[in-house]
Amino acid sequence: MLNMPDIAWCIIIILLSVGFALVNGANDAANAIATVVGTKVLSPVKAIVMAAVLNFAGATTGLAVAHTIGKGIVASGYINYEIILAALLAAVIWGMIATRFGLPISLHHALIAGLVGAGIGAVGSIAIVWDVLTKKVFPSVGIAPALGFTGGFLVMVALYWILRRKSPLSVEGHFSRLQIISAAFMAYAHGKNDGQMPIGLMAVALMIYNGSTEWSVPFWIIALSGVAIATGTALGGWRVIRTLGVHMTVLRPVQGFAAETAAASVIEAASHFGIPVSTTHCISSSIMGVGATKRLSAVRWGIAGNIVLAWIMTFPICGILGWVVVRLIMLVS
């Protein structure tokens, strides 16, 4: 370990966790309000305020995902400051690069890959809780986007049938209001799943500092994470909002409602079981499913392809970054 007192390590990890939450807000949290901004139902400022409040609420109503991140990827007997630091740096670096180019990625998967790479680099494969990865994480990589796409497609088809005799003007008016509710649901679901990542890391850093094996999360950690995510959305979420809400397909309020409702339902179900799924994967694939109900060409598949490529690249890039960073830390220790 680097020759620093435990309190210094703990403070550095808490500060980096806040940085991670800022990047999460600029990328992942922006997904939650992309459609409501893209359909012009809410102004960006109002959408950000709503997202901030609901992300905070989601983060305070369950800690199953925080527990998975904090204790379920690297075994508690092997987790240390170096591994957490390396994983955070890997996720923050990749998150900043992706956000710079307006690519919505999974910060969940970035952090998990960073933890795996750092754990292997510091201790070896024995440090990784492979059972959690194979049963919770890896299946969600394929299942969540598939459920998001299918859910968005089916909800939109059902709405087309239900509303087939309604005038377009009436539909627009009703769903402009309903989409605010669905966007709020989406922001809440994001807080309950993605918003718990920095919470889990700060909590495990405190556990190491206190020499405890008992899992506990002080409220100030939850509050700090929620504020940081909201700030990140306000400062840097615009590129991702434009990619999802405007560039990928043309959305009207009814389509935004369908995409948000389908995606948030998938995320909420996963959060209940402590499964860390990607808000990005769910909402992006749901928007694709909604767009595909018009015609396949309604989705700009070139942009969609770039998004999927960024998803695929996240695991190897962050795993390698985590491994390299932890080895560098060990070299100078």
| pLDDT tens digits along 193-234 | 777 788 888 888 888 888 877 777 888 888 888 788 878 777
The overall pTM is greater than 0.85? no
Least confident of 3-17, 118-132, 228-242: 228-242
**Domain tally, the chain:** 1
- Give the C-alpha separation, 253 to 259, whole Å: 10
**38-66 pLDDT tens trace:** 777 888 778 878 877 887 788 777 666 66
- Give the C-alpha separation, 41 to 176, whole Å: 6
In a domain, residue 56? The reply is yes
pLDDT category at 119 given cuts 50, 70, 90 is very high
Partner residues linked to 128 by β-bridges: 74
- Give the C-alpha separation, 176 to 179, whole Å: 5
Mean pLDDT of 123-150: 85
Give me the pLDDT at residue 71, please.
67
In a domain, residue 1? The reply is no
The residue segments making up the domain with residue 259 are: 6-331
